[in-house]
Structure 1
Amino acid sequence: MNRISKIVLFLLCVASVEFTQAQRIQSEGLAAIDNKGNFEIYKFTRHPIGDNDIFIDILYAGICHSDIHHVHEDWGKTEYPIVPGHEIVGVVKKVGKNVTKFKVGDYAGVGCIVNSCGQCDYCKQGLEQFCEKGMVVSFGSHDYFHNNELTMGGFSKNYVVSEDYAIKVPANANIKKVAPLLCAGITTYSPIHFSKVSKGQNVAVAGFGGLGHLALKYMVALGAKVTVFDITEEKRQDAYNMGAIKYVNVKTPDELKKSQDQFDFILSTIPAAYDPMMYVKMLKMGGEMAIVGLPPTDATPNIPTTSLIYSAHRKVYGSLIGGIPETQEMLDYSVANNIYPQVELIPATPEAVEKAFKNVVDGKVKFRYVIDMSTLK
């Protein structure tokens, strides 16, 4: 190969590299830098916009207790820096050439799941959260579709996702309150409908936080009679304002009296150590208890099998978010029925997020923090 040919080849290689690099999406977000919950503004890149992808400018991102567990390494090791956030809503700014579900200017949401194999029986049933190869989650996950790069979440300026894993947000939605529905909404909606909660049933929600208050709203909308169990007095009136027929402070023994054999369904959203059997005993025979709260690994409650035998014919099961079709169903139902979380907007600064994380852990939030990502500077 002569000298001119070598130069041409070199220039082509350089151009190819520059072209490839140019395709990556520049982004910036709020990244946790350690397990203490310290945050910094962090620049990073996302994978290129594929033919089936949409590019979203993020407007709002919810803060979920799961974000905190992940950052604090409550469930295992975390790779830092990491941009959390799996309750995401924004505006579509670009679409790949094969995209038909969205157009530029549409609202779009992103929840926990941003990819899965699409081929296994679970994926084909719209249960992508149980994908046999493993779902790719919106942050802290090695994306096997994109060179195993670490996914970065919604505490950021933008997101790139396949249209198949994005949720259409109606134009008339209360956009400032939509984001938490993408996790807290579907996490509570799914078991409520799986257990066929219906009008007139006596039901309960244990834990009255970000998930619990949405569970209350969904079950009230279905016509059920809802009792709320929590550990604080500060939220008693909130529960009644949202339609609860009774509020029980579990730290007050007198309020717990006459609770056994009362409920057709109980949804536990508690993200800390507790005694599940206390609630199992509150079920009627044939009643069902769904568990969606995920405490830290070292605080995970256990249910002795012997206790279940002596509380026979009560059913206990776990529920994990929901697949993409059910998440879309939930969002459409929520908007149509004006069911939204109660939120407090905070600015996109490290200091605000650090304070919000602490307040969630300390139980000092009513009921969901949402970051206004337009304020990220």
Structure 2
Amino acid sequence: MSSGMDLSAKGIHATNAKGPFEATSFTRHQPGPKDVVLSVKYCGVCHSDVHAAKDDPSPEKFPVMPGHEIAGVVDWVGSEVTKLKPGDHVGVGCMVDSCLDCEFCKLSNEQYCANGCTMTYGGEPKHGRAGSETTRGGYSTKMVVTEHFCVKVPKDLPLEVVGPILCAGVTVFDPLVHWKAGSEHVKHVGIAGGGGLGHMGIKLAKSLGCEVTAITSSPKKVDALRELGASRVIVSSDEGAMKGAAKSLDLIINTISAPHDIMMYHALLRPNGTLVQLGLVGKPHSVCQVPMLMSRAGISGSLIAGMKATQELIEICTRDKIWPSVEVVHCNQIDRIYDELMSKSSMPKRYVLDVANTMDEYCSQKQQ
């Protein structure tokens, strides 16, 4: 099937783990009858992007074009598309395909697809709906995505805040709902880490009626975390504060992506509590089972969210105006942003690339 559209795109990719990003031009795959072609307007910069582009020097993974916090406008839809039309606002998150046939996909847990989901960038197409080459992400001007993995965005939700909801938002929302945050026995929730995921965790846990404790390694983030809605902020290097908070939390959402001692956070759990690991840490954690036995407090993990939950969160954030804190930036700031994220010095917010208005200038500058 041919859309008759120009599928050429401009983008930003990394050709190795050490050097700066580079501009590139390429052509998106031909869309099928269930596909949507969209112009990318904004794309958030996630810490997972940093891991993908900078942490693994293996040459076989390059080039890589990150970006899975994508917001745009529909240009074209295939003949079998039913929920979207040209002109609609649309979002694309962390995955662009899965088998759609296994028990997990049928439960709308596509991220746990028994046959493996295809991630938005760096993924290998295996189910027939994401082209035939390694996937390229949203640091680009155009996307072709099958309708199932597109989220319809209400037009009264600003497009620049949409992308971070699709990753940072759903990544904390799904475990909050799964572990029943806000229910009778899960009222006291801790959010460890004060970056892109952490700041959305505070906002969403508060919206569910929880008393939120923010835990950060950075004293300079204390005021900002309180402003986001945390009723208590603990600096993790303050041994007295950490000891005083022992066994006070029913649930901890751990968004920290740097190596750290998780048992220090586990000590904050009440009996029957759960520490949920979200941040990507390359090195194995050291776990002592005695504290787990003595309080029946566990350690678990969670990965993004399925498409049903993602659509629900977009609607909740629109209705209740739970928006991520974002800073919209020119595409030429991409290397500086990565340096800041790698230094762990970023404040509680998400950087969002202004793809529509600055990609052309970025590419022209790089070609000079």
CA change 1:119–1:253 in 2 (3 A) is: same
Residues 11 and 23 in structure 2, CA contact (< 8 A), matched pair in contact too:
yes
> Among 35, 52, 55, which residue is 2:17 paired with?
35
The match for 2:296 is 313
Cα distance in 2 for partners of 1:321, 1:181 equals 11
Pick the aligned partner of 2:171 from 180, 187, 197: 187
Within a 5 Å distance, the mapping from 1:19-98 to structure 2 comes to: 25-36=7-18, 38-74=20-56, 79-98=61-80
The aligned residue for residue 231 of structure 1 is: 217
Matched, 1:205 2:191: yes
Per-residue deviation at 1:167? 0.6
Residue 198 to residue 257, structure 1, CA distance change in 2 (3 Å): same
SS at match of 1:360: helix
What CA distance in whole angstroms lies between the structure 2 residues aligned with 1:64 and 1:368?
8
Please state whether the residue corresponding to 2:295 is helix, strand or coil: coil
Q: Deviations over 1:300-332 (max 9, x none)?
A: 3232334533x4311221001011111111111
Q: 1:192 to 1:147 in 2, by over 3 A?
A: closer
Q: TM-score, normalised by structure 2?
A: 0.92
State how far apart, in whole Å, the 2-side matches of 1:93 and 1:130 are.
Answer: 30
Whether the 8 Å contact between 2:270 and 2:295 is mirrored in structure 1 is no
Alpha-carbon deviations, 1:78-118, whole Å to 9, x = none? 52222110110000011111111101100000001100111
Deviation digits for residues 315-364 of structure 1 (CA, Å, limit 9, x no counterpart): 22100101111111111111111111111111122xx1011011111123
Larger radius of gyration: 1
* 1:304 alignment partner in structure 2: 288
Match of 1:109 in 2: 91
Give 2:17's aligned amino acid.
N
The change in CA–CA distance for 1:78 and 1:170 in structure 2 (over 3 A counts) is farther
Is 2:343 aligned against 1:357? no
For 2:8 and 2:87, how far apart are their aligned partners in 1? 20
Q: Measure the CA separation in 2 of the matches of 1:266 and 1:100.
A: 39
Contact 1:113 1:135 in 2 (8 A): yes
Q: Distance in 2 between matches of 1:128 and 1:219?
A: 24
What displacement does 1:163 show?
A: 0.6
Q: Indicate conservation of the 8 Å contact 1:272/1:300, yes or no.
A: no
Contact 2:196 2:350 survives alignment (8 Å): yes
Q: CA deviation at 1:73?
A: 3.6
Distance in 1 separating the partners of 2:317 and 2:3: 41
The aligned residue for residue 146 of structure 2 is 162
1:174 CA displacement: 1.8
Give the number of aligned pairs.
354
Q: Does residue 342 of structure 1 match 2:322?
A: no
2:222 is aligned with 1:240:
no
- The one-letter amino acid of 2:157's match is A
Distance in structure 1 (CA, Å) of the matches to 2:220 and 2:60: 34
Shift of 1:36: 1.6
Deviation at 1:184, TM superposition (A): 0.4
SS of 2:23's equivalent? Answer: strand
Unaligned stretches of 5+ residues in structure 1? 1-18
* SS of structure 1 residue aligned to 2:83: coil
Q: Is the 8 A contact 1:37 1:71 kept in 2?
A: no
Equivalent residue, structure 2, for 1:141? 123
Deviation at 1:365, TM superposition (A): 2.4
CA distance in 2 between counterparts of 1:217 and 1:40 reads: 35
* Structure 1 Cα separation of the partners of residues 200 and 148 of structure 2: 26
Identity percentage of aligned residues: 34
SS of 1:150's partner is coil
Which 10-residue stretch deviates more, 255-264 or 156-165? 255-264
| Structure-2 residue corresponding to 1:279 | 265
Instruction: State the distance in 2 between where 1:264 and 1:154 align.
Output: 37
> Quick one: distance in 2 between partners of 1:256 and 1:76?
39
What is the rounded CA distance, in whole Å, between the counterparts of 1:60 and 1:365 in structure 2? 20
- How large is the RMSD of aligned CA atoms in angstroms? 2.0
Conserved in 2, the CA contact under 8 Å of 1:23 and 1:49? no
Query: How far apart are residue 178 of structure 1 and its match?
Result: 1.1
Length-normalised TM-score, structure 1: 0.89
Superposition pairs for residues 248-259 of structure 1, below 5 Å?
A: 248-259=234-245
Question: Would the alpha carbon gap of residues 178 and 75 (structure 1) be closer, same or farther in structure 2, given more than 3 Å must change?
Answer: farther
Matched residue type, 1:86: H
Give SS of 2:181's match.
coil
Instruction: Tell me whether 79-88 or 67-76 shows the greater mean CA deviation.
Output: 67-76
For the residues of structure 1 that align with 2:143 and 2:19, how far apart are their CA atoms? 23
Give, in angstroms, the shift of residue 75 of structure 1.
9.3
